[in-house]
């Protein structure tokens, strides 16, 4: 749901998610999995925490990471959606080849990151399956393509507990 206007652009509704809700979302994902996976590929940074929770619950020990950047280089912001991804980190093909890989991120908004990672896993000979806590069909750029597994559908901008401001007792550090 779009709410209000900020600087001439429509602002998305924000929804803060609690740790208890994240646990329930992870539980909802796990029951959807149709088969076992050989490895999990966590998309940094958003997929690290939900992926770790899933890996622990599933007893999966082969955990890989992928870091993807979509540089904004074009003058027209809508054209930036056409920029090719830059893979800052990605596992070698021999870790993917002939293996079922669960690709994990926190949210599928436009779908660019999950789709780019899924395609690169396929190109490396793996069998990728995408999984996210939240899927936003209103922002999805890939038509009817959607994550293989998702715990909830939303039109809101989700703020996860690990993205929220530190609570009392936590000190923000400047490094």
Claim: this prediction has a pTM higher than 0.75: yes
CA dihedral 87, 89, 95, 100 (to 10 degrees): -60
Q: Where are the domains of the chain?
A: 16-162
H-helix or E-strand spanning residue 3:
strand 2-6
2-19 residue pLDDT tens: 444 444 445 578 999 999
The fold for domain 16-162 equals: Rossmann fold (3.40.50)
Torsional sign, CA 96, 99, 105, 110? positive
User: Distance between CA atoms of 67 and 88, rounded to whole angstroms?
Assistant: 5
H-helix or E-strand spanning residue 88:
strand 86-89
70-119 residue pLDDT tens: 876 555 555 555 667 899 999 999 999 999 999 999 999 999 999 999 99
């Amino acid at each position: 749901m779009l709410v209000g206007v900020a600087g001439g652009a429509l602002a998305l509704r924000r929804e803060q998610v609690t740790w208890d809700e994240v646990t329930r979302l992870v539980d909802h994902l796990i029951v959807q999995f149709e088969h076992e996976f050989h490895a999990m590929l966590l998309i940094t940074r958003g997929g690290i925490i939900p992926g770790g929770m899933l890996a622990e619950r599933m007893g999966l020990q082969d955990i890989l990471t992928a870091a993807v950047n979509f540089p904004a280089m074009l003058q027209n912001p809508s054209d930036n959606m056409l920029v090719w991804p830059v893979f800052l980190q990605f596992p070698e093909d021999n870790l993917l080849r002939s293996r079922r890989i669960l690709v994990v991120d926190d949210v599928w908004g436009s779908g660019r990151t999950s789709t780019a990672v899924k395609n690169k896993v396929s190109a490396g000979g793996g069998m990728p399956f995408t999984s996210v806590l939240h899927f936003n069909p209103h922002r999805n750029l890939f038509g009817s393509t959607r994550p293989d597994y998702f715990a909830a559908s939303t039109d809101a901008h989700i703020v996860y507990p690990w993205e929220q401001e530190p609570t009392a007792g936590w000190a923000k550090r400047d490094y």
